[in-house]
């Protein structure tokens, strides 16, 4: 899949009607338990 409009991709959370940044820049890898591969990142 290719995302043509990069404004649709956010690394923020939508909270109470506003896009908010995380309090820290720490991230963890989300792992797919079916195959053990990385499925994405989470803050």
Q: What is the pLDDT of residues 2-39, one digit of tens each?
A: 878 888 877 888 999 999 998 888 888 999 999 999 88
Domain tally, the chain: 1
19 alpha-carbon distance from chain centroid: 13
pLDDT of residue 32: 93
pLDDT at 1 over 80: no
Is 1 part of any domain?
Answer: no
DSSP the chain: ---S-GGG--SSEEETTEEE--SS---EEEE-TTT--EEEEE-
Is 35 part of any domain?
Answer: yes
pLDDT of residue 11: 80
- Domain of residue 18: give its range: 6-42
Is 20 part of any domain?
Answer: yes
């Amino acid at each position: 899949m290719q995302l043509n409009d990069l404004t649709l991709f956010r690394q923020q959370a939508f909270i109470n009607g506003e896009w908010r940044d995380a309090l820290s820049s720490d991230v963890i890898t989300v792992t797919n338990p079916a195959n053990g591969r990385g499925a994405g990142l989470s803050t």
